[in-house]
Structure 1
């Protein structure tokens, strides 16, 4: 099992902002998953990968694929308190789910 977090590379987030957005996405998708998935993922080390996303459009397209596949996912929009405009889409988390299910959505992306 794993979770993939896709963070946008086209909006110039600083490292701290990037880390915060990845954390928000991870937790949000985890909270949307059912308790059985949550337990399995926690018992198996909570594996995560962070991947490069090129645009807001790409994140929405990937979220739609996850939705159709019944895979837990969450899109994060920034509150706009620091570097970004309010509502800026920053990251997408896919999973936790079986590795092959997550890879069916994000397998073509590069590691961050």
Structure 2
């Protein structure tokens, strides 16, 4: 019988996600990680409702397309290991912390997250070129980690600045968006903070924040 990975469930619960929704997301993503499950929830809000326990029918339906080992959280395999570079040290992910105090509309938030993604991506490209490595964190993220991304809620400007300081202290690349102020917010408003790094390191800083 399928069982959710309780460690992943706890992480999702800390994000403000209900247990039923957390378990359903893990079921639909092969019980592979809290990050992937959270992304699935963000991408499929209609499939997480109603907030009711998983049924036997759901488990049996997915059992045909996902191996039982993966469904129970065993995602490792010799084939997968062989496909990864010897120096691969991921997974990596990128997170976006949105300043909720500003009360931005959906379209404005989308635009600001895009600014944060592009700004941080430029930083990553520069860093990889500086290190003169054929394959580094950015390449691993793009080629092996499915470009993991997640949007989270930040309380206010000071909260974003505090998180940015923690990212600096941890050696994680980051980018803080200062808006031009053409619409909705005042010029110079800090709207979104993006952070990139190993999933475990990023989670140390943003793991308890709620999903946007």
Q: Which TM-score tier does this pair reach, normalised by the shorter chain?
A: over 0.9
What secondary structure does 1:24 align onto? Answer: helix
Question: 1:39-59: CA deviations, max 9, x gaps?
Answer: 111112111010000110000
Number of paired residues? 111
The aligned runs of 1:8-87 (5 Å cut-off) are 8-33=99-124, 34-35=127-128, 36-43=136-143, 44-87=145-188
Q: Which has more strand, going by share of residues?
A: 1
Q: Distance in 2 between matches of 1:80 and 1:57?
A: 19
Q: Separation in 1 of the partners of 2:157 and 2:138?
A: 27
Task: Check if 1:90 corresponds to 2:191.
Answer: yes
Corresponding residue for residue 209 of structure 2: 109
Residues in 2 aligned to 1:105 and 1:39: alpha-carbon distance in whole angstroms = 23
Question: Which fold has the larger relative contact order, with Cα–Cα distance below 8 Å and residues 6 or more apart in sequence?
Answer: 1
Distance 2:183 2:164 in 1: 26
1:6 paired with 2:106, answer no
TM-score, normalised to structure 1, is 0.94
For residues 76-95 of structure 1, what are the alpha-carbon distances to aligned partners after superposition, in whole Å with 9 as ceiling and x for unaligned? 01111111111001010010
In structure 1, list runs of 5 or more residues that go unmatched.
none
SS where residue 100 of structure 1 aligns?
helix
- Measure, in 2, the Cα distance between the counterparts of 1:10 and 1:65: 20
> In 2, Cα distance between the equivalents of 1:72 and 1:53?
18
Contact 1:30 / 1:72 at 8 angstroms: preserved in 2?
no
Match of 2:28 in 1: none
SS of residue matched to 2:101? coil
Q: How far apart are residue 30 of structure 1 and its match?
A: 2.1
Runs of 4+ in 1 over 6 A off after TM superposition: none
TM-score, normalised to structure 2's length? 0.51
Query: Over aligned residues, Cα RMSD in angstroms?
Result: 0.9
Distance 1:72 1:65 in 2: 11
Give the equivalent residue in structure 1 for 2:16. none
